[in-house]
Structure 1
Amino acid sequence: MKKKTILKTIVIAGHFIAIMLICKPAFSQYIGQYQIEMTKRSEITAKAQSFNLQDVRLLDSRFKQNMERDAKWMLSISNASLLHTWRLNAGIASNAKPLGGWESPNCELRGHTMGHILSGLALMYASTGEIVYKQKADSLVTALAECQQVLDEGGYLSAFPKQFVNRAIKGEWVWAPWYTIHKVMAGLIDMYLYTGNKQALDIAEKMSGWAFHKLEPLTPQQLATMEKTEFGGMSEVAYNLYAITGNKNDKRLAELFYHHAILDPLANKEDKLAGVHANTQIPKIIGAARGYELTHDDTLKTIAEFFWQTVIDHHTFATGGNSDQEFFFTPDQISKHITATTTETCNTYNMLKLTRHLFAWTADVKYADYYERALYNHILPSQEAESGMVTYLQSLKPGLFKTYSSHDDSFWCCVGTSFENHAKYAESIYYHTDNGIYVNLFIPSELNWGEKGFKIVQQTRYPEESVTNLTVKEAPSHIPFSLYIRYPHWATSGAKITINGKAVKISEKPGSYIELKRVWKTGDEVAVSFPMSLRLIPANDNAKVAAIAYGPLLLAGDMGTGGINPPAPFARDQLEFVKYNIPEDVISSLTVKKRKLTEWLTPLVGKQLTFETKDVAARPITLIPYYQIDKQRYVLYWNLK
């Protein structure tokens, strides 16, 4: 691919990187049904570009079902209740029913859900085209504009008084005011980018202006003191705003949130993550990645790449999640942290955001492999299959169960990110170059690349089955295109591909892309099969402690529902059930005696993706995909004897 001028025209506030290739200083780019005026910011070389969410539609699958449950939940939350604390803070009368949990009127983090809801509704609108999501979100934006105007505090807007920010600057205890401001600004920018709401952009610009004038006079020491309080992705959102506005104050605001204490060691390729709060740091790295894209500062690139690789290699569980009690721990100590308080869901939400940046820069299959791993084994399992409620932590303690939120009395950070997680499944299925399409995920979907006149439909029951079928619905004539099919690292049993029924010779190895280049015609059919097999995923510090996977899926031992009494597994407090007693009949040790995995774990006839142990414990144990675990106890890591 020839080097071209690349402008990051679309903010990836957690959702997509659409890196537009241009060859002139200024241009207009249509995204969906609206126009963004941009000015040239930087030049970097990208290997892959994301499709807009509007270009991809999910077909029926667990992913689409999760998305529909998510949509139903968001639509059911009263706008008046969401706005209640915002209006009170602005001095506007409100007698709406307050929300509970982290959105209650006495909670210092109140207001963060508003940003997630705006992002979630904007994403849902882009993912479906259904106007109801835009209408609900537009109403919220209009009300927020009124609050900002009535406050009349130089652009300040929040559900809490600005004294909270003053406390952070002084180093006094306060619960993360900049974190909440970031979430709201991100939601407003998403409303502009995905729905064309210009009022949302105006509100965000005023908020950024207030923040810049607030922080620009501070000394480096004052900034360092303030940055000890969690500030979320303020650098990312400010860079994103700069990409739209060209206002150098937005760029400067992003730089003011460069946290030297965390980022400088990473720039020197030093892993000093042990003991730091995990999800406080990941958004800072996303900000560095965004900064690299807009400034071409290689130090920021080093930070992003080193952090990602370090976390994946030394701090990540088999699920793709990380952290214990929300903190990074000593590297390569996985087996010592199989506890009740592992893998905060927000962490993986943010790791996937970072992964999308890195894949766009490199088109390296390792990023797509991780994305699949975390998506299937942490994000997909985070939603309860009937109510749509979601997890905060996903326990690895043998015999515990998932704790799910309540409908309107929790609103943890991971509730907020869940509104986005399940609305944007379509964002990373496909990427493209000038003349090719990457097929990264095997999810039933339809891609319409209008610019090239190329439309394909992916039909599959993956991962229940190993085959995915791609049908070309439209294709430009006489122009060769490449389909780059991800050959997963776990597919060690080989691959099979046919085009219109004729076998294709495959020379590539697992952990690469299989290129299919030809002049495609309407009606062409590609069948791809990656036979799945069982494998162990040992802890990085102890091979005798291991999880079990089948293809891309982590398998969980189903330990039943004994002792789970209502309201469990639903809770107001995310830690409510972590000290629940574990029944004595829960089994987490297997006496395998060096036998091969396939000798003691075999598929159950007639039940897809279901396996049973043989002669390794006091009784047979049934294992199913972790994403199918709902309200029962489970075991993910086993002690192997």
Structure 2
Amino acid sequence: MFRKGFFILGIASLFSYSIEAQSHYPGQHHSKFVLHDQLSSPIQAFDLHQIRLLDGRFKENMLREQAWIKQLDTKRLLHSFRNNAGVYTANEGGYFAMKKYGGWESLDCDLRGHTTGHLLSGLALMYAQTGDDYYKLKADSLVKGLAEVQTALNQEGYLSAFPQELINRNLAGKSVWAPWYTLHKIYAGLIDQYLYCDSKQALSIAEKMGLWAYKKLQPVSPEQRRIMLRNEFGGINESFYNLYAITGKKEFQWLAEFFYHNETIDPLKEGKDVLDPKHANTFIPKLLGLTRNYEIVGKGDADTIAAFFWNTVINHHSFATGSNSDKEHFFKSDELSKHLSGYTGETCNVYNMLKLTRHLYTHTGDVKYADYYEKALFNHILGQQDPATGMVAYFLPMLAGAHKVYSTPENSFWCCVGSGFENHAKYGEGIYYHDANSVLVNLFISSELNWKEQNFSLKQETIFPQNGQTKFTITAAPTQPLGIKIRYPSWAKSVVVKLNGKVQKLKNLAGGYISLSQKWKVNDIIEVEFPMELSLKSTNDNANKVAIMYGPIVLAGKMGTAQMNSPAPYSDPSVYNDYYKYQYHIPADIITSLHLNPQNITSTIEKVPNEALTFKTKAEGIILQPLYNIHRERYVVYWDMIHE
């Protein structure tokens, strides 16, 4: 998100389908859609409900997310909506009896209500990921409350926690903090509720909201439109494309096209890197709406534009963690070493880049997209959550000696808190895909897949990235031959594959897939081992400013807790962007240089015996561990390399 009162470019959110078919992916083709995608994608995603996480770090994060979701009070979340409609009644305890949520959900914040939208999506995803009715029932109570508010407002379908005056200010080009961004989260959450949880009431609310928007925006002049689109409008275009595909109503197609932002997209058509100094999370989701339209119509230049944008961000604007931006903004191409601040790596940016990555992967099957997905998921999203509390970080600081700063249960509700409700509920999304005759394994995460259409089930057991070993067991087998394709990651230099204990002869498949195809039997076992090695990842603009990697995992130096704020490491930046005022108070004696031998890294870094994923520099004695595992402690990611 961005500061209140500034005009900036827009953001979005990826598509969601139903628990009965494709979800959060392109390629929808089931009965809940009047319009079916015309794009013929070579790769399809599995439904989230077909995948279950097994014990491991990702499931632990998901369980902590569940605990937090269960603590959130639906009445408190609905309070600002009811307050806006004037329907909060004494028999619910009265206005002063209701304890209000703070931060970006406070009644004086223009973004109030966005969390409820995110939570609707998070509950839908959690329901799909677990099958637990609790999450559907909790969402049903939110949907019912929103329907009551929409009826009480009686404004041609308008629904929000703030009055339409904020929309009017946006239309007039006046200072306002992103009303369409907030509405987008509500649209997206309601659509997810329909597609995952079969809530027809949620779809009805969203349709009424859409028809209100159509009537509201029909009279807007081209010049007025140009001005209003300079304010962050979220992924509203993508939500309208989704409503168009679900209902077939042309009003929603018109709305989606209305939010096409020429000032942002047109330069990309010409292959121009215009990212500096754009607000990153406003920019990224615009490509999602564009891509969603491409999937619906099956033609055009949108995929080329999105791929150019993706390559530009990944190759010229991203840190070793897969994250991007400094103080929420893109900076000049290939100037990473100049932007190692305490405000790098906004989590919402990664959330949206992963969504775009999934679209582009299914369009092409290119493994580079899966490689990036792994990097960003393990190094950023997995480590966003504080294991002690379940709270989440807005930024992933690259500043040497900084630490992660987490949200609070009552007084934050930033955008990255909202996207966090989704991030930790949908880990199953990126693990498996399929083509017509094969399962594709893209991530090494303990999980089970049930491809019921093929009568095929697969169990994956791994402690990756503690080592590069993964074991697959066939738990249900079809009568016909079926392919299993296992990603050969870009960081791997070799691989050993065993089928029922017998080593398989393989060609060099770097940058592709290990392909096994046969008539499988129950209890067939595939064992894969990718030896993991240390490597250095330098910034594009400074070969001697390096991050240390172990396979795809960023290792950071543990720097202790000296001079950390109390209660460390909370800041409670509850009002708008007070986190920019956060002071890290980094001790002057923090070590930021290492003696390293890039030609023989193990001569300068050694593995610590009997400690998982723990290394030590030989000269300085600095302990290195995965960045995702370092919490409530200072760390260093990028080092000044002293050549050995």
Q: What TM-score do the two structures reach when normalised by structure 1? A: 0.94
Deviation string for 1:451-482 (max 9, x for gaps)?
Answer: 110001001111112110000001111x1111
Contact 1:400–1:580 under 8 Å retained in 2: yes
**1:417 counterpart = 2:436:** no
Distance across 1 between alignment mates of 2:28 and 2:87:
42
**Greater RCO (Cα-Cα under 8 Å, separation 6 or more):** 2
Match of 1:503 in 2: 503
Give 1:549-560 correspondences, 5 Å limit.
Answer: 549-560=549-560
3-state DSSP class of the match of 2:453? Answer: coil
Q: Note the 1:128-277 alignment, pairs <5 A.
A: 128-277=130-279
CA distance in 2, matches of 1:592, 1:301: 42
Work out whether residues 27 and 37 of structure 2, in 8 Å CA contact, stay in contact via their aligned partners in 1: no
Match of 1:538, SS state, is strand
CA change 1:632–1:214 in 2 (3 A) is: same
Letter in 1 for 2:254: R
Aligned 1:4-19 pairs, distance under 5 A: 10=17, 16-17=24-25, 19=27
Could you list the runs of 5+ residues in structure 2 that have no partner in the other structure? Answer: 1-14, 90-94
Contact 1:18–1:52 (CA<8 Å) still a contact in 2?
no
Quote the offset at 1:299 in angstroms: 2.2
Distance 1:117 1:459 in 2: 30
Structure 1 match to 2:600: 596
Higher alpha-carbon deviation: 585-594 or 41-50: 585-594
Partner of 1:5: none
Which aligned pairs between 1:39-188 and structure 2 lie closer than 5 A?
A: 39-93=34-88, 95=95, 96-188=98-190
In 1, are the aligned partners of 2:328 and 2:345 still within 8 Å (CA)?
A: yes
CA deviation map 1:18-66 (0-9, x unaligned): 5246xxxxxxx3xxxxxx3433444222111111111000001110010
Q: Which residue matches 2:387?
A: 385
Q: Does the 8 Å CA contact 1:403/1:577 hold for their aligned counterparts? A: no
Per the alignment, do residues 181 and 594 of structure 1 end up closer, same or farther by CA in structure 2, a change over 3 Å counting? Answer: closer
- State, as a whole percentage, how many aligned pairs show the same letter: 50
Give 1:74 deviation, angstroms. 1.0
Matched, 1:628 2:629: yes
**Counterpart-to-counterpart distance in 1, 2:257 and 2:482:** 41
Deviations 1:408-439 (A, max 9, x none): 11000000000000000001100011211010
Q: For 1:330 and 1:9, how far apart are their aligned partners in 2? A: 33
> Does structure 1 retain, via aligned residues, the 8 Å contact 2:536–2:547?
yes
Once the two structures are superposed, what CA deviation does each residue of 1:472-530 show, in whole Å capped at 9, x if it has no partner? 001111x11111100000002x0011110111112133221111111111111000111
Between Structure 1 and Structure 2, how many residues are aligned?
A: 616
Is the alpha carbon distance of 1:435 and 1:536 closer, same or farther for their aligned partners in structure 2, counting shifts above 3 Å?
Answer: same
Q: For the residues of structure 1 that align with 2:126 and 2:598, how far apart are their CA atoms?
A: 49
Matching residue of 2:611: 607
Q: Which residue of 2 aligns with 1:432?
A: 434
| Separation in 1, partners of 2:598, 2:168 | 61
Q: Measured at CA, do residues 263 and 11 of structure 1 come closer, stay the same or move farther in structure 2, by a change above 3 Å?
A: farther
Tell me: CA distance 1:302–1:220, structure 2 relative to 1, closer, same or farther (3 Å): farther
Q: Which residue of 2 aligns with 1:33?
A: none
Question: What is the match of residue 347 of structure 1?
Answer: 349
Aligned pair in 2 of structure 1 residues 323, 507: CA closer, same or farther (>3 Å)?
A: same
- Residue identity opposite 2:443 in structure 1: L
The CA deviation string for residues 550-588 of structure 1, in whole angstroms up to 9 with x for no partner, is: 011100000011112322311221616742221123111
- Cα 1:67–1:14 shift into 2, 3 Å: farther
Partner Cα distance (1:139, 1:339) in 2: 42
Whether the aligned pair in 1 keeps the contact of 2:16 and 2:24 (CA below 8 Å) is no
Match of 1:524 in 2: 524
TM-score by length of 2: 0.93
Counterparts of 1:322-471 in structure 2 under 5 Å? 322-471=324-473
Q: Is contact 1:20-1:49 (8 Å) kept?
A: no
Q: What letter is aligned with 2:88?
A: A
Alignment partners' CA distance in 2, 1:62 and 1:635: 23
Mapped partners of 2:235, 2:49: distance in 1: 25
Question: What residue identity is the alignment partner of 1:310?
Answer: T
Q: Which amino acid is 1:529 matched to?
A: E
Q: Is the 8 A contact 1:10 1:19 kept in 2?
A: no
Residue in 1 that maps onto 2:639: 638
Matches of 2:599 and 2:55, distance apart in 1: 40
Q: Distance in 2 between matches of 1:412 and 1:321?
A: 18
**Matched residue, 1:484:** 485
Structure 1, unaligned runs of 5 or more: 1-7, 22-28, 30-35
Could you tell me how far apart the structure 2 residues matched to 1:76 and 1:56 are? 26
Deviation, structure 1 residue 596? 2.5
**8 Å contact 2:347–2:393 — kept in the other structure?**
yes
Single out whichever of 275-284 and 592-601 deviates more from structure 2: 592-601
Secondary structure, counterpart of 1:510 in structure 2:
coil
Amino acid at match of 2:269: A
Q: Which amino acid aligns with 1:481?
A: L
Q: What whole-Å deviation, never above 9, does each CA across 1:591-627 have from its counterpart, x for those lacking one? A: 3376632110110111111100012xxx310000111
Q: What displacement does 1:341 show?
A: 1.0
- 1:230 and 1:38 map into 2 onto residues whose CA distance is 29
- Superimposed CA distance per residue, residues 109-142 of structure 1 (whole angstroms, 9 cap, x where no aligned partner): 1000000110111111111111111111100000
The AA in structure 2 aligned to 1:449 is W
The amino acid across from 2:500 in the alignment is N
- Measured in 2, the distance between the counterparts of 1:211 and 1:14 equals 27
Q: Is the 8 A contact 2:27 2:295 kept in 1?
A: no
For residues 517 and 14 of structure 1, do their structure 2 counterparts lie closer, same or farther at Cα, with a shift above 3 Å needed? closer
SS at match of 1:484: strand
- Pick the aligned partner of 1:575 from 569, 573, 579: 579
Instruction: Please tell me whether the aligned partners of residues 324 and 342 of structure 1 are also in contact (alpha carbons under 8 angstroms).
Output: yes
**More off after superposition, 343-352 vs 589-598:** 589-598
Of 253-262 and 240-249, the range deviating more from structure 2? 240-249
SS in 2 for 1:469: strand
C-alpha deviations, 1:323-373, integer Å up to 9, x for none?
Answer: 001000000101111111101000000000000100110111000000000
CA distance in 2, matches of 1:99, 1:152: 26
* Structure 1 partner of 2:543: 543
SS of corresponding position for 1:19: coil
1:25 corresponding residue in structure 2: none
Structure 1 residue aligned with 2:6: none
